[in-house]
Structure formats: structure tokens, C-alpha cells
Chains A and B, each alone.
Chain A
């Protein structure tokens, strides 16, 4: 149960890193990556995964 970032669409704005309550998102090289071990899809924390809610590009933070 984790989300992933579609690298080809990502604008590298960093909003997801900023909002992730689990510190699961970090910059690796030129891209942001979601650590599946840390990602909880924000279950029990928020109604929707925060990365997907703030991401400016549709269908870019999606279930892995």
C-alpha cells in the first residue's frame, strides 16, 4: 500500500515532499521519489493522500 510518482509528468515542484506527513518523499538525483516503506497513503491521517491532493499535474501521484 503505497503511492508512486510518474517521473515523466512530474514538474519537480516539491509540494508533495512538503505535504507528506510521513516524510516518505525525498529528492533523488533530479527527481522526487516516494519510499514505499514509509508511505501509508495517508490512511488514518487524512481523507486523501496529500501528495495527490496537492500535485499540480493530474495522474502523477498514483497508487503504485
Chain B
């Protein structure tokens, strides 16, 4: 059974050393060796599975891209956060219906993307609908694509109800990543989330429905873990319904072999027409989400970089190039050309080495500061692990916590882009400042004077002094400049 591994432990800096040690000591081929959660007990085979997967590795999400194809639209349960007239609000943001594809159309799209987006490493089937329930289409799609692009990683997302009957086939098809959405382990709470399920040719409602769903989810999770398939558990945090309960869910899924636990905020808006949206159920605020993540027994064993991407998203996390690859824009015949993806992989290998060196240097610098606070730093980045985006062009910020203990990634904040065609909008700036609640400083490649003053008035520092620096180097430079100076003043 795979251990639940912390995201920190799957960063290569720790990994390279521990992997070498493991190899020198004769190695260990079992995922269950070692005590619990440290990098030391991460099997090199597991590392190989996560190192290029942007959803499973925080490190990889700076460099590698995923794409989703919406080939499996049928679903066997109803969730109160989902309106099936739009995309599923859980695995994809609602509001715009994805382009539904046949397996053949999906293959054309994947090949076109692989030829144009060298970062592509993962293909996922994640709704709308359920990849395990609508299995024939999921399987046909994966089979065709695996033949054409053998090195692409396959993953799927499911509510778990129809999962157990497909686990053996999932293993045979080399799908090494499965996401199960588990919002409860108590059917009484489940009854407030799932109005009905369809199982064994009939519809079940209420507590009975959630009891069956719960049993199938646990069985599926255990069966996957027993086959060393990495399982990510997604949980939708619904304030007042399951927020406290997720502590218990975390404990149980971890014990049953989940690799990562991803707590996602409920997306709820009356305009989406979901039950929760129409009944005024609110989603959590960014700080409430972080507070829950911090309370979970081992905070770092959470995925904090999830962007709740659309079911037909294409690109790095936080970026969606899906519209560029709509079917009507694609040629009828496309042939796979691996050259761009291969070249990109070589560059990433070099970049990653350099990034790790700078990261280590940055953390060593911070460790030299005594008695300084932990701060939240928001970074404007286009990817690649660098501070490389103009403040006004950011549609999200990556958030890091920095203290003398080190620098860790804690999440992201989505904002409306401030700068449209060279002009900043004051109303957008207000929304941005609200989205940056609790942030101490923003680091970006460039920022104008006006937004800088507004941020300062809201108590948020901002700096563009380190454009294109590695994120950790920029954070360390700002931190040292700020707190060394303060220490000198107070001395």
C-alpha cells in the first residue's frame, strides 16, 4: 500500500539524495517500506510516476502541462454542487459547457496539442460525467492515445461508485493516477451532499444512497492502493456541511492508502443553477480554506496547488489554452511529432537542477535570520518557477509562506486581471485587494505606481525589484531586506 507522501517530500532536492542513498543501500522496491511519510520511504517507482505530473507534484506544476478531454459525459450520481446542464462544478468550473468529444475526436485533439504544447505530460478524463461509469468511452480514448503517444501519462477522475469493477482494467491499461472525489465518510453528512445515486439499475436516495457510495469509494480506494496505483482524494469543502468532517475524511483516506488529499473550496453561485447555488450555500473564503488545510494532521500532505480546472482545460495549471484547440480549428488529419516534447524535456532537466540550487541557497539565507515572522508572499508568475509576470497581467498569484524555517508553497489566489489593454480598472483593483486578504507582500516582474499605492494603503507591500528571479530567490531577497533591516533598527 502506498504511503501518503508529503508534497515537500516529492521535490527532487530531497529526492535525489534519498534516492541515491536508497540505491546505495541496496534499494527498496516496495512502496510500503520505511515508517511513514518522509521522502526516505518514497519508492523510486512512485517518484517516476509523480515527477512529471503537474497535479501530483507541486514541483512539476511549474513545468509540465496537462490536458483534459471531455469524452465521458454520463454520470451515475447527482451532487448538490453540480448542475448537469453545465460542466460539473467539482472537477471543472461551471458556466461554460465543454466541447464533448468522441474518442476519435479526442485523439485528434490530443495529438494536435502534443505537437504544439511541449510541456504536455498528462492526459486526463475528468468530467463532465464520470470516467468509470461511462467506461467504454474512457477506455476507447485511452487505448487509442496510448498507442500513438506511448509516454503520455493517463489519469482519470471518478466519484468512485463504478470504480471497483474497473480497477483491474485500470491497472492493465497503465493508468497510474486516479482521483476519487470523497466528500464524506458519514452517510448522514453524505445525504446533505448527494440527493441520489444510480446503482444496480435503480435510483437510491437519502442516507441509503450515501451509504452505498461510501462503501464503493472505500473499496475502490483500497483496491487501487493494493495495486500501487496512486490515488488522489479530492474533497469539496462545504462550510457548515462537511468542513469539520473533512478532518475525519483525511484520517481515513490516508489510512487506506491515498497518496494525496486535495481540499477544494466549494464553488457556489446562483447563476450556475446548482442546488447549493440556488439555496445560498456559500463557499469558503481563502483563509478558511487555508485554516482547514493547516489543521489537518499533516498539513504538508495536502495538494495546495489545485486550480479546479475546466474539464477541457489545456496547458500549465492556472492557464487554459483549450479554446485554441477546439475541434473546428483542427485539421482533419494530424500526425504525432514528438520533437518539441523531447526538446522541452531536456531543457527542463537543466532548469530543474539550477532551480534546486537556487532554492537551497535561498533557504540557507532565511535560516540566518532570527526571530522574524512567518509571512505570506504572493507571486506573479507565468510558470517555470520564476517571478516573471507583470502585476496587471496576473490572473492568479501563487502564495508561499516564508519564515526562518524555509519557504513553502501554500496555495494560489485567483483574481480578475487588473490591466486590460494598458488601462487599470479601479473596481478590479478593489476585488484584487480583497482576494489578497492576509497576504503580506506581492512580488511581480513589474507594477505601476497607482496599484502600488492602493496595495500599500490596504497594508500589502509590493515589489518588482527581482524580475525574472527564481521565486525562492526573490522571496529570500525581500525577506532578508525587510527583516534584517528591522532587526538593525530595533537593535
Contact = CB atoms under 8 A, between A and B. Distances in A.
Contact of A46 (B129, B133, B202): B202
A47 B134 contact: no
Interface stretch (B70-78, B147-155, B477-485): B70-78
Contacts of B307: none
B74 A57 contact: no
A12 B97 CA distance: 11
Interface string A20-60: 00000000000000000000000000111010011011000
Contact of A13 (B84, B201, B202, B203): B84
Interface residues of B, number: 16
Most buried by B among A18, A54, A56, A57: A56
Contact of B134 (A12, A14, A57): A14
A35 to B, nearest CB: 19
Interface in B459-489: none
Contacts of A15: 74-76, 133-134, 198
Given A56-B78, A57-B85, A14 B73 contact: yes
B203 A53 contact: yes
B198 A11 contact: no
Interface in B121-164: 128-129, 133-134
Interface residues of A, number: 15
A53 B73 contact: no
A14 B138 CA distance: 13
Given A18-B134, A48-B203, A54 B128 contact: no
Contacts of B100: 12
Given A11-B85, A56-B84, A18 B203 contact: no
Contacts of A50: 201
Nearest to A16: B74
A10 B269 CA distance: 22
Contacts of A14: 73-74, 134
Contacts of B75: 13, 15, 56
B85 A54 contact: no
B9 to A, nearest CB: 40
Most buried by A among B74, B84, B133: B74
A53 B200 CA distance: 11
A47 B203 CA distance: 10
Nearest to B74: A15
28 contacts: A11-B73, A11-B84, A12-B73, A12-B100, A13-B73, A13-B74, A13-B75, A13-B128, A13-B129, A14-B74, A14-B134, A15-B74, A15-B75, A15-B133, A15-B134, A15-B198, A18-B74, A46-B201, A46-B202, A47-B202, A53-B198, A53-B201, A53-B202, A53-B203, A54-B74, A56-B75, A57-B84, A57-B85
Given A53-B198, A54-B203, A56-B75, 11 more contacts: A12-B73, A13-B74, A15-B74, A15-B75, A15-B133, A19-B198, A19-B201, A46-B201, A53-B202, A56-B84, A57-B84
Interface of A: 11-15, 18-19, 46-48, 50, 53-54, 56-57
